């Protein structure tokens, strides 16, 4: 809806979307619900009744896209599976989002964000090294699936310009969590190394993390490659003596020798305030 689409949300009579009850509530409105549904129109339909299904199918006739995130099998029980819906609108893009996809051994299991993050592995690589699995502070399981769902929907609409036909799009939240962990899976599949939590630092590039300063903290990310910032960084922290140290010659070498390098960087970063480091490192 933010991009101009007319979006009609179907809700249950009397109770509506359960998210309407989520706090905080301001001036009688759930801010949680509004953050996800701003700009959308809304109607209530009882899809357990024949009349509700008929109204729904009339809405489908003029729609470009139908998005549903029921547990697999629910739309079929209501007589609203893709095969029936496309009888009313052969050009419809019928998008199904679920925890584990429309088929497979876990297809009928329900899912929530934290469950998907745990099963997908994101929580195992989040947090401090040696610590317990941590859920990131945002709903990556939901958001990543929503983004992939949007991309797939746009691709299906583009394909329709050629074929003139709609299609079924199947998005699995778990698949999406695996996809966003590109680096972790590539390392495991090629080296056998099981990824684990590393705090704020990067598994391949160093320095690429937060450091404590004299009055707070700061995030530092160094670029390597043709124009290596390492010499400039060493000069900024007053440690030009380690510029040519072969243990720290590039990002991967610095990562491999992190235990030797980290105390040097940590001690240096504590000598100035966060604002002083921001001013100093912006020059690098």
pTM for this model (two decimals) = 0.89
**CA dist., res. 17 & res. 36, Å (int):** 11
Provide CATH 3.40.50.10540 ranges for the chain: 45-179
161 belongs to the catalytic site = no
CB 12 within 8 A of CB 44: yes
Domain 45-179 has CATH 3.40.50.10540: yes
Helix (H) or strand (E) holding 76: helix 74-77
CATH 3.30.1540 in the chain is located at 208-282
Q: From the CB of residue 27, how many other CB atoms can be counted at a distance below 10 Å?
A: 5
Measured CA to CA, the distance from residue 261 to residue 254 in angstroms comes to 7
Residue 198: both structure tokens together? 């590393």
- Flag residues of the chain having pLDDT under 50: none
What is the three-class DSSP state of 172? strand
Q: What is the pLDDT of residue 284?
A: 84
Q: Given this model, what pLDDT does residue 226 score?
A: 63
pLDDT at 95 (0 to 100): 98
Q: Which of 202, 210, 243, 250 is catalytic?
A: 202
Looking up tokens 């109770």, which residue turns up? 15
| Greatest C-alpha distance within the chain | 79
The half-sphere exposure of 161 on its side-chain side, counting CA atoms within 13 A, is: 5
CA-based end-to-end distance of the chain: 41
**Using alpha carbons only, what angle is made at residue 69 by residues 64 and 72, rounded to the nearest 5 degrees?**
115
The dotted CATH code for 208-282 is 3.30.1540
Give the separation between CA 212 and CA 209, rounded to whole angstroms.
Answer: 10
């Amino acid at each position: 809806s933010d991009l101009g689409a007319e979006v009609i949300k179907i809700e249950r009579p009397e109770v509506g979307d359960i998210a309407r009850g989520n706090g905080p509530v301001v001036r009688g409105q759930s801010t949680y619900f509004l953050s996800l549904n701003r700009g959308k129109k809304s109607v209530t339909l009882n899809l357990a009744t024949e009349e509700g299904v008929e109204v729904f199918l009339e809405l489908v006739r003029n729609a470009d896209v139908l998005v549903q995130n029921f547990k697999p099998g629910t739309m079929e029980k209501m007589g609203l599976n893709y095969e029936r819906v496309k009888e009313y609108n052969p050009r419809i893009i019928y998008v199904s989002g679920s925890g584990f996809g429309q088929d497979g051994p876990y297809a009928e299991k329900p899912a929530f964000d934290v469950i998907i993050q745990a099963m997908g592995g994101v929580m195992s690589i989040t947090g401090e090294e040696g610590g317990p699995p941590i859920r990131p502070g945002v709903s990556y399981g939901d958001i990543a699936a929503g983004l992939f769902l949007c991309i797939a929907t746009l691709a299906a609409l583009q394909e329709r310009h050629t074929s003139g036909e709609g299609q079924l799009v199947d998005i699995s939240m778990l698949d999406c969590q695996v996809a966003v962990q590109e680096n972790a899976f590539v390392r495991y599949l090629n080296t056998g190394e099981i990824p684990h939590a590393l705090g704020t630092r990067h598994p391949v590039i160093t320095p690429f993390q937060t450091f404590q300063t004299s009055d707070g903290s700061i995030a530092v990310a160094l670029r390597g490659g043709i124009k290596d910032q390492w010499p400039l960084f060493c000069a900024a922290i007053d440690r030009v003596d380690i510029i040519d140290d072969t243990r720290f010659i590039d990002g991967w070498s610095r990562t491999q020798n992190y235990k030797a390098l980290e105390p040097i960087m940590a001690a240096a970063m504590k000598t100035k305030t966060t604002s002083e480091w921001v001013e100093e490192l912006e020059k690098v």
